[in-house]
């Protein structure tokens, strides 16, 4: 018996034209379908005194909005569609690895890379929208125009570190389970899997909080002065 693991390996299921579709993409599609279906079902006949599904969704959205408001100290609702969706998707994606036969999409580098790119471009978009072109460019020349390369570099490295943090945590957790299962046997990895649930939730929280902090930094740079 030989342990065969590769952190960058992805399993291609089928091809759509020239595009290979991997197992993680299918998992992402299923998560997207579930989230859309639940949102549509809960808000299809929204009432003032809604049912349990509507109330659950409302409580979740309100809680996320409260957290974002506590971090940003400004009105959270313009940023809630991005950040709230990011958090709920990450919770589902990180926890999907618990199901037997399903690989968490975030445990492969493509999904965290895509999410980090989304956050990167949204930070630029919100910065441009809120501060205008002049304030946006001025933000890069901030303490001193000499620091422009460092400011540009920090934009890139923080997106990269977001990607590597999510990918590293989720992938290393899967690796640990695989290695322990290989070395020790059937029921030994169960405590590690319990720890994995905690890690998945915390990483979803951290990714969202960091995205919120970056968006807040881009948006309210003028207000802070």
Partner 1 sequence: MTVEMLSIIGAALAVSVGAIGPAFAEGRAIAAAMEAIARQPEASGTISRTLFVGLAMIETMAIYCLVVALLLLYANPFTQ
- Which residue ranges make up the site for partner 1 (CB under 8 A)? 6-8, 67, 70-71, 161, 164-165, 168-169, 172, 202, 205-206, 209-210, 213
Sign of CA dihedral 215, 216, 217, 219: positive
The distance of closest approach from Cβ of residue 221 to partner 1 in the complex, given in angstroms and rounded to an integer, is 18
- How far is 93 from 201, CA to CA, in rounded Å? 10
For partner 1, the closer CB: 26 or 109: 109
The distance of closest approach from Cβ of residue 71 to partner 1 in the complex, given in angstroms and rounded to an integer, is 7
- How far is 171 from 105, CA to CA, in rounded Å? 10
Helix (H, G, I), strand (E, B) or coil at 101: coil
The distance of closest approach from Cβ of residue 61 to partner 1 in the complex, given in angstroms and rounded to an integer, is 19
For partner 1, the closer CB: 7 or 78: 7
Number of neighbouring beta carbons within 10 Å of residue 45: 9
The distance of closest approach from Cβ of residue 168 to partner 1 in the complex, given in angstroms and rounded to an integer, is 4
For partner 1, the closer CB: 137 or 150: 150
What residues have CB less than 8 Å from 53, skipping those under 6 apart?
A: 38, 41, 42
Q: Alpha helices, DSSP H only, in the chain?
A: 23-43, 52-72, 80-95, 110-140, 148-184, 190-219, 221-224
For partner 1, the closer CB: 31 or 72: 72
Phi-psi region of 197 (alpha: psi -120 to 50; beta: other; left: phi over 0): alpha
The distance of closest approach from Cβ of residue 109 to partner 1 in the complex, given in angstroms and rounded to an integer, is 10
The distance of closest approach from Cβ of residue 136 to partner 1 in the complex, given in angstroms and rounded to an integer, is 24
For partner 1, the closer CB: 10 or 39: 10
Nearest residue to 126 (alpha-carbon basis) of 70, 90, 76, 85: 76
For partner 1, the closer CB: 67 or 122: 67
């Amino acid at each position: 018996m030989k342990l065969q693991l590769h952190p960058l390996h992805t399993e291609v299921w089928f091809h759509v034209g020239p595009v290979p579709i991997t197992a993680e993409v299918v998992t992402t599609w299923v998560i997207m379908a579930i989230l859309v279906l639940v949102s549509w079902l809960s808000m299809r006949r929204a009432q003032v005194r809604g049912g349990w599904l509507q109330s659950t969704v409302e409580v979740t959205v309100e809680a996320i909005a409260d957290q974002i408001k506590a971090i940003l100290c400004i009105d959270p609702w313009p940023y809630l569609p991005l950040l709230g969706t990011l958090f709920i998707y990450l919770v589902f994606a990180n926890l999907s690895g618990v199901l037997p036969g399903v690989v968490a999409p975030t445990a492969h580098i493509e999904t965290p890379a895509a999410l980090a790119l989304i956050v990167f471009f949204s930070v630029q978009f919100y910065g441009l929208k809120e501060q205008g072109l002049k304030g946006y460019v001025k933000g890069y020349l901030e303490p001193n125009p000499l620091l422009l390369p460092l400011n540009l570099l920090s934009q890139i490295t923080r997106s990269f570190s977001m990607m590597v943090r999510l990918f590293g945590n989720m992938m290393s957790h899967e690796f640990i389970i695989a290695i322990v299962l290989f070395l020790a046997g059937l029921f030994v990895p169960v405590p590690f899997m319990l720890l994995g649930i905690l890690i998945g939730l915390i990483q979803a929280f951290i990714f969202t909080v960091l995205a919120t902090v970056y968006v807040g930094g881009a948006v309210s740079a003028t207000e802070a002065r």
